[in-house]
Amino acid sequence: MIEVNNISRSYGKVKALRDVSFSVGKGEVFGLIGPDGAGKTSMFRILCTLLLADEGTATVDGFDVVKQMTDIRKRVGYMPGRFSLYQDLTVEENLKFFATLFGTTVDEGYDSIKAIYSQIERFKDRKAGALSGGMKQKLALSCALVHQPSVLFLDEPTTGVDPVSRKEFWEMLSMLKERDITIVASTPYLDEVRQCERVAFLSEGKVMGIDTPEIILDQFKDIFNPPGITRKQDCSKGDAREMEGTSKGQESPNVIEVSHLVKAFGDFHAVDDISFTVRRGEIFGFLGANGAGKTTAMHMLTGLNQPTSGTGRVAGFDIRTEHEQIKKHIGYMSQRFSLYEDLTVAENIRLFAGIYGMQKNEIARKTDELLKQLKFEEHKNDLVGSLPLGWKQKLAFSVSIFHEPAIVFLDEPTGGVDPATRRQFWELIYEAAARGITVFVTTHYMDEAEYCDRISIMVDGKISAMGTPEELKHNLHQPDMDHVFTYLARKAKRGE
């Protein structure tokens, strides 16, 4: 179904693909895997006729990607890494738009998407931007399938989606395979890699190996299964140093105190009466399925939104009346990177340090220290937009704690990143916690949940369970955090 022969592609001096060759059989589920910057997205774009190769040839369903691109576009469905939906159009409007784009209608293609689209059809008048991650995923897949393609290209389609929704997505792909649709997918999740029949491992634009997932994951285990991380210091027991410049109210051992917090939008309670505390220097995991209320709760804690009722203190300040003070004493790294891509590495560091009110001589000294720590000295004048995803994340985290805040909020900081880079990121988190910085983190990687001191799991706007990873596994009689999360998330009753 797909033939790739000696494909190469460069962007200036950067060689994204180097003499890549592989083939995919009809009806096969084939994985393109590898670290950030390996060339996976460039390969997808070439096969979808969105990008021309510098050298080599490729065919999809027997058609040449250069000479017969119109024929290919009728036969392929494509879900890029960032959802290809129009956020300000409704569910139904998005689907109609993509059907029109491919010269068909929703009615004509309905049977091919019914099993998937029927799960979200009752929300057809809701704007795509207001959907949860799992619902966006189902809509994007429906849009990619509405013209009944023979080949489906999926470039990290489940990044930023909770484990239960990811499992449901791959169940949908199994249904498509039964219809003999050929699927080529990239993913950073090892459980999804194992769902493929064969995988090609790309690194620095080269094919390093093609075989079954088990053989490839074992052959390159240093990359896909790096050794675990050991905490150098346990700051969760109250032995973290007192923060310099302690603010009022910080005599408490808790850096976050929340009591009966509610956030309602009309009759809908996104956050429904939650109470918890987080200790100074603790790594606190804040988990939940898409739509459970995590982001809404985090917005209240960071001063970005006001609660409907209840009380809360962050870094000693009241979340209702002192939210501007809270913003000065916290760090924040969002799921979408808070860096300016058209500024250099050094310029981003100086900009945010200035926003945090740091002095020029201190900024200069700490900038040099940070560049050395990250091994970015040679890249300080590189535009952030040119950096690999994993580098951006490490830089964004380092910038978020540059001013030594009492607490840093991390909203799915490692989404879409390979295991080796995620491990390096968590080493930075451990170093921050060892300095007494509290880390409040949301993640959809359940192996990362194991790294937290304590975890809370939200279901339907409420905290369904809280404790150490070991306590949760023991109390709920589950073998690992993935099973704990799935067990609790499947109890959700309210609609997405």
Handedness of CA 233, 235, 429, 325 (dihedral sign): negative
What pTM, to 2 d.p., does this model score?
Answer: 0.80
pLDDT tens-digit profile of 39-57? 999 999 999 999 999 999 9
User: pLDDT band at 118, cuts 50/70/90?
Assistant: confident
| Cα three-residue angle 101-105-106, rounded to 5 degrees | 110
Helix (H) or strand (E) segment spanning residue 22 = strand 14-24
Rounded distance between C-alpha atoms, residue 207 and residue 179, angstroms: 29
- CA end-to-end span of the chain: 37
pLDDT at 83: 61
Residues 6+ apart with CB under 8 A from 18: 8, 39, 204, 205, 206
What share of the chain in percent tops pLDDT 70?
94
Task: Of 243, 309, 326, give the one whose Cα is nearest residue 279.
Answer: 243
| The two structure tokens encoding residue 200 | 């090609």
Least confident piece of the model among 15-24, 92-101, 243-252: 243-252
CB 414 within 8 A of CB 425: yes
Rounded distance between C-alpha atoms, residue 418 and residue 36, angstroms: 7
pLDDT at 405 over 80: yes
- With left for phi above 0 and alpha for psi between -120 and 50, is residue 56 left, alpha or beta? left
CB 32 within 8 A of CB 202: yes
| The two structure tokens encoding residue 288 | 């939940």
Task: Of 304, 276, 321, give the one whose Cα is nearest residue 466.
Answer: 276
b/e 328-351 (16+ beta carbons within 10 angstroms → b): bbbbbbbbebebeeeebbbebbbe
Rounded distance between C-alpha atoms, residue 194 and residue 208, angstroms: 18
CB 41 within 8 A of CB 9: no
CB 46 within 8 A of CB 40: no
Distance of CA 381 to the CA centre of its chain: 27
Mean pLDDT, rounded, for 170-187: 91
User: pLDDT band at 386, cuts 50/70/90?
Assistant: confident
Mean pLDDT, rounded, for 217-246: 63
Distance of CA 494 to the CA centre of its chain: 24
| The two structure tokens encoding residue 129 | 């931007």
Q: Are strands 462-467 and 454-459 parallel, antiparallel or unpaired?
A: antiparallel
Q: Which residue has the tokens 């393609």?
A: 149
| The two structure tokens encoding residue 70 | 């119109």
Q: In what order do the strands lie in the sheet with 198-203?
A: 76-79, 151-155, 182-186, 29-33, 198-203, 206-211
SS3 at position 470: helix
Rounded distance between C-alpha atoms, residue 421 and residue 139, angstroms: 30
Rounded distance between C-alpha atoms, residue 261 and residue 223, angstroms: 42
User: pLDDT band at 243, cuts 50/70/90?
Assistant: very low
Question: Residue 440 to residues 160, 303, 391: CA-CA distances in angstroms?
Answer: 17, 15, 21
Handedness of CA 117, 123, 129, 131 (dihedral sign): negative
pLDDT at 337: 62
pLDDT at 458: 93
Q: Which residues share a beta bridge with 279?
A: 254
DSSP code of residue 383:
B
pLDDT at 275: 96
Handedness of CA 421, 423, 427, 429 (dihedral sign): positive
